[in-house]
Amino acid sequence: MKFHCPRLPHLIALLLGALSVLGFAPFYFYPVTIISMAGLFYLWYQSPSAKHAWWLGFSFGLGLFGAGIYWIYISLHDFGGMPATMAVVATFCLSAFMALFPAATGWLSRKLGAQYLTIPLFWVLMEWVRSWIFTGFPWLLAGYSQIPGSPLTGFAPVLGIHGVSLAVAISASLLAWALLHRRNLPFLGKSALLLCTLWLAGGLLKLNTWSTPTGEPVSVALVQGNITQDLKWENDTLRQTLQQYLDMSLQSHAKLIILPETAFPLVSSQIPPDYLQQLADHAKHNGGDILIGTVEKQDGAYYNSMLSMGQSAEQAYRKTHLVPFGEFIPLKQAFGWIYENWLNIPLTDLARGGFQQRPMHIAGQQVAINICYEDVFGEEIIHQLPQATLLVNTSNDAWYGESLAAYQHLQIAQARALETARMMLRSTNTGATAIIDTNGQVLAHAKHFTTTTLEGTAQGYVGMTPYVRWGNWPMLAFLFTALGLLWVRKKK
């Protein structure tokens, strides 16, 4: 296919990138992302040069991230106080940086020879790099678009989300390759056979049971306080916030009560002791425990923490993977002036908790806790497994207003449940508070931006998925081995 307007392919790539967002939550139209990527790959197959492929990938990335993470503007401007123009520029710069990864995929694939396997390998390699470079931002990975309904999610417990991304990229590549060779009937048959085999394998893996129940189901209460972000850290509303969470907790008879991230917007040592005693006594009366989110100070350092109290011994989890420019300032001497002049964000100088923290033994379960952004990193979640029988995520996505962010975050949590074959409980300030089963299905979901308590039951599980055992290593070994073989073949 030849285009008379040289810029038309780039416009098409931009629109395809924006369209692919429909595969992610809250839309869950998972075939759309595969079709969108197939359109990009088709353009890459016909690209006349590596430079042209670079700009096609960059255009796709701008569409994907421009439409997918526009909510960064809300956090910077609406709640962070950054001037609108600067917030637009900052959001665009982040989207443009993220777009460099599909751009690099196009350039590298064209250099190595754009074949039906080359592009998927580089696509997943770039997603993996994006998951750790500069502390990582693995948002909108292709694999997430398939959670939880696609047959391709069967690869999640085996190879993790990057394995699902590879299956998505191979599917898109086969579609594009077949379209490119649509007049070659034998080739079309071969492509169809490979595609069907891939999807059948995913579907069969999805039928496998990777974990087994342990113990009795536990009654849970996920408290959603719905404290607006613009008032959350105001001293005038502190007393009201404390009273609201106390009242909501005392009304629950659940064995495990979970409050969201930084539910108490003050240092734990400043919380009145009699207040904490009321919570602990109520948890004991229920025969269980309560988890509270607050800021903890230890040895002069401040931590974003979850503290337990009740029938079990008091325990603490301290957030390990902090949000850059949100919970700490990288290169503070270079970027500190932004906060002094344009931003009003609390807790930008937090310390990291240890990577060797173990699950909490509370409410008769071994509970692996992760706070907010941490559940984006599957390879870090499995540090507490297989000992953990239950996963808990506490978040405050109020920073992003009534946008797609909370729904996308929920989909990411669904992927963690699939990878580990554990139930996931999410307690959030404004949404998405939810109970997720081991298949990544949402069993219960509280309405966003309402003051409510989501009641339900959670079952603990034991067992070890291949991903829990090996993490990303099998996926990475396959990627680098396959790319090495393709490179040697090209050289010959």
User: Quick one: 176 and 230 in the same domain?
Assistant: no
pLDDT, tens digit (0-9, with 9 covering 90-100), for 6-56: 789 999 999 999 999 999 999 999 999 999 999 999 999 999 999 999 999
Same domain, 125 and 219: no
- In-domain check, residue 216: yes
Are both 61 and 119 inside the same structural domain? yes
Q: Is residue 395 part of a domain?
A: yes
**Whether 402 and 454 share a structural domain:** yes
Residue 278 and residue 250 in contact, taking contact as beta carbons nearer than 8 Å: yes
Q: Which residues form the domain of 376?
A: 212-464
Same domain, 199 and 254: no
Do 241 and 130 lie in a common domain? no
Q: Report the Cα 299 to chain-centroid distance in Å.
A: 31
Say if residue 39 is in the same domain as residue 164: yes
In sequence order, what are the residues at sequence separation of 6 or more whose Cβ sits closer than 8 angstroms to the Cβ of residue 293? 259, 260, 261, 262, 263, 264, 304, 305, 306, 371, 394
Residue 299 lies in a domain: yes
Per-residue pLDDT of the chain (492 residues; tens, 9 = 90+): 555 567 899 999 999 999 999 999 999 999 999 999 999 999 999 999 999 999 999 999 999 999 999 999 998 888 878 889 999 999 999 999 999 999 999 999 998 876 778 999 999 999 999 999 989 999 999 999 999 999 999 999 999 999 999 999 999 999 999 998 888 888 888 889 999 999 999 999 999 999 999 999 999 999 999 988 766 667 778 888 999 999 999 999 999 999 999 998 888 888 999 999 999 999 999 999 999 999 998 888 889 999 999 999 999 999 998 887 666 766 554 555 555 555 555 556 788 988 889 999 999 999 999 999 899 999 999 999 999 999 999 999 988 989 999 999 999 999 999 999 999 999 999 989 999 999 999 999 999 999 999 999 999 999 999 999 999 999 999 999 999 988 888 777
Spatial distance between the Cα atoms of 298 and 283, rounded to a whole number of angstroms: 25
Tell whether 315 is covered by a domain.
yes
Q: Are residue 165 and residue 178 in the same domain, yes or no?
A: yes
pLDDT digits (tens, 9 = 90+) for 192-207: 999 999 999 999 999 9
Residue-level pLDDT at 333: 46
Please report the pLDDT score of residue 327 as a whole number.
67
> For residue 3, what pLDDT is reported?
59
Which residues, in sequence order, are bridge partners of residue 264?
294
What is the pLDDT, as a whole number, of residue 354?
85
pTM of the model: 0.94
CATH of the domain at 433: 3.60.110.10
Active site residues: 261, 319, 372
In a domain, 1, yes or no: no
* Domain assignment present for 2: no
Same domain, 220 and 192: no
pLDDT in tens, 345-386: 555 678 898 888 999 999 999 999 999 989 999 999 999 999
Q: Are both 200 and 244 inside the same structural domain? A: no
| 128 and 267 together in one domain | no
In a domain, 3, yes or no: no
Residues 397 and 433 grouped into a single domain: yes
Name the domain count of the chain: 2
Q: Could you tell me if residue 200 is inside a domain?
A: yes
